[in-house]
Amino acid sequence: MDDFEKVHGYLRGRGLRRTDARRSIVDGALRADGHYTADELLEKLRASGERVSRASVYRTLALLVEGGFVETREFRRGQTMFEPVLGRHHHDHLICTGCGAIVEFENDEIERLQEETARKHGFRLERHSLRLYGRCATCLSA
């Protein structure tokens, strides 16, 4: 079962319907590599000939986030970015404050310490958001 089947299975299980708009938005949202805003996704879909509304893009992205297929990131204030995570490795982000470049990284030790910290405070950890801001090598040498 591929990712798309999995998502549509999830939606069906919740009594939601398989429509053209939904299908193309899910497709675009999962297929995109990297991060995108709701508006960027809308533009991309329209550019490839899909006829969907902005409202449906927001509504469908919300469903995908709820289902855990897509995650939101707030790299910059007031602009939610989305990123597909289904079948991909969990990772966090380094953001360059100079050029805006975004680098993904994984660090199991940090993950472990987060778990430990949550437990120590009586929390059952569900998810986390870790962003490191700084200057990238290119900006530093410029």
Partner DNA sequence: TTCGATGCAAAATTTTTGCAGCTTA
Partner DNA sequence: TAAGCTGCAAAAATTTTGCATCGAA
Residues that bind its own copies (CB under 8 A): 72, 74, 77-78, 80, 94, 96-97, 103, 105, 107, 109-110, 113-114, 117-118, 121-137, 140
- Look up residue 139 and give its amino acid: C
What single string gives the DSSP state of each residue in 68-109? TSEEEEEEETTEEEEEE-TTS---EEEEETTT--EEEE--HH
Max distance between CA atoms of the chain, in angstroms, equals: 55
Q: Rule CB under 7 A: is residue 129 a binding residue for DNA?
A: no
Q: Taking a C-beta distance cutoff of 8 angstroms, is the pair 94, 75 a contact?
A: no
Residues written for the chain:
142
DSSP state of 123: -
Q: Rule CB under 7 A: is residue 48 a binding residue for DNA?
A: no
Near DNA by CB under 7 A: residue from 32, 67, 80, 114:
80
Nearer to DNA, 12 or 131 (CB): 12
122 binds, among DNA, its own copies, none (CB under 5 to 8 A by kind): its own copies
Nearer to its own copies, 69 or 82 (CB): 82
CA distances from 118 to 92, 113, 123 (A): 18, 9, 5
Q: Taking a C-beta distance cutoff of 8 angstroms, is the pair 102, 35 a contact?
A: yes
Site stretch for DNA (CB under 7 A), options 8-16, 87-95, 121-129, 131-139: 8-16
Nearer to its own copies, 19 or 117 (CB): 117
Contact positions vs DNA (CB under 7 A): 11-12, 15-22, 25, 37-39, 51-56, 58-60, 62, 77-80
